[in-house]
Amino acid sequence: MRKTSVAVLFVAFAVVLLLVFSPASSGTSTNPCGQCHLGKYVQHLDVLEGGSAVLSQIGVGETENVTVTIENSVNAVTYSALSGVSVTLASKNGDISVGSPTVNIGSLPAGTEKVTWKITGVSDGYDSLVITAMGVNTHYNLPFSDSYSPSPSIAVGQPTTAPPPSSATNPLSIELTSPARGERWSPGTSHSINWHTNGGTDPLTVTIECSLSTIEGPWTTIAAGIADTGSFAWETPNVTDTLYLRVFAVDSGNPVQDALAVGAVEVGEDTGGLILLGTVSVVLLVVAGLAVIFYRKWRAQTREASGGHAQ
């Protein structure tokens, strides 16, 4: 056997052996990622309802701590950390004031993190707190968000009215359906931002905001308090960057419920396909050119050889 054929077969055999006996040979990826791994990758950013210590009563002028647990739950080891994670605590009715409402956590590895705020009773009444968490997996610019409003409401001071009914029976949720994950929009073109709401008390109002480059904001309002039509036509800005979009829905119930959904879109011209086509064409032309050159050389050699025989 020739050395070259032994080397060729040895390399092929080594590659097959390496792959068959590799740690990933079980057929499942060690870090499947989102839709590109056929839904095997699962990641959620959750405001844990069970892990949130929210009081039921506070006096006017009294200050208490509110502690909330958020979780980055993910079934992968690498690329699992969320970046730009922030948690915001807001009062619905203004009977409670929150010192430093937004807590920036930054990077959140897989697991849980506790966040604590100081809240102060401002005026008599029933109020609710809304906890909103946002973060992004920068590996694919996948934004995550969750919001939670503990029920029942908090009694502030001496409320003169009856406590509002619990809204837990018809919770409001919202899903951003367009832009879809990984979508690319050209700058300065008109696109439809689509969402879908579920639950809550009609009529719902929706606010759409965007942030360039980072999920941490600042957030610019695109549309405020519009009707819940499920769609809004919008012209993309003339930039080439990742654009984060968030949609808030607020219902007309008592207490008021709200829900949040965050999405991302790449704004820029999609030239990758053209460049790839060009590169592939050049490669094919080079291979075809080499084939022609070698064929002509071979033909010349054959003619030369047959001419020599004739002489």
Site residues (vs other proteins, CB under 8 A): 1-2, 4-6, 8-9, 11-12, 15-16, 19, 22, 24-25, 27-33, 35-38, 76, 78-79, 140-141, 181-184, 266, 270, 272, 275-276, 279-280, 283-284, 286-288, 290-291, 294-295, 297-298, 301-302
Q: How far apart are the first and last CA of the chain?
A: 38
Q: In b/e form, how buried is each residue of 167-197, taking b as 16+ CB within 10 angstroms? A: beeeebebebebbeeeeebeeeeebebbbeb
**Three-class SS state of 193:** strand
Closer of 36 and 53 to other proteins (Cβ): 36
Whether the Cβ atoms of residue 136 and residue 142 lie closer than 8 Å to each other: yes
Closer of 118 and 303 to other proteins (Cβ): 303
Closer of 18 and 53 to other proteins (Cβ): 18
Closer of 37 and 118 to other proteins (Cβ): 37
Whether the Cβ atoms of residue 88 and residue 100 lie closer than 8 Å to each other: no
Whether the Cβ atoms of residue 238 and residue 268 lie closer than 8 Å to each other: no
Closer of 12 and 224 to other proteins (Cβ): 12
d(CA 155, CA 270): 54
**Three-class SS state of 286:** helix
Closer of 52 and 72 to other proteins (Cβ): 72
What is the smallest separation between the CB atom of 2 and other proteins, expressed in angstroms?
A: 5
What is the smallest separation between the CB atom of 64 and other proteins, expressed in angstroms?
A: 43
- Cis ω on the peptide bond leading into residue 143 (within 30° of 0)? no
d(CA 69, CA 48): 6
Q: In this structure, are strands 154-156 and 125-127 parallel, antiparallel, or unpaired?
A: antiparallel
Closer of 114 and 297 to other proteins (Cβ): 297
What is the smallest separation between the CB atom of 78 and other proteins, expressed in angstroms?
A: 5
Closer of 2 and 162 to other proteins (Cβ): 2
Whether the Cβ atoms of residue 149 and residue 257 lie closer than 8 Å to each other: yes
Q: In this structure, are strands 258-267 and 184-185 parallel, antiparallel, or unpaired?
A: parallel
d(CA 58, CA 123): 10
**Three-class SS state of 234:** strand
d(CA 113, CA 121): 26
Region at 285 (left for phi over 0; alpha for psi -120 to 50; beta for the rest): alpha
Rg of the Cα trace of the chain? 30
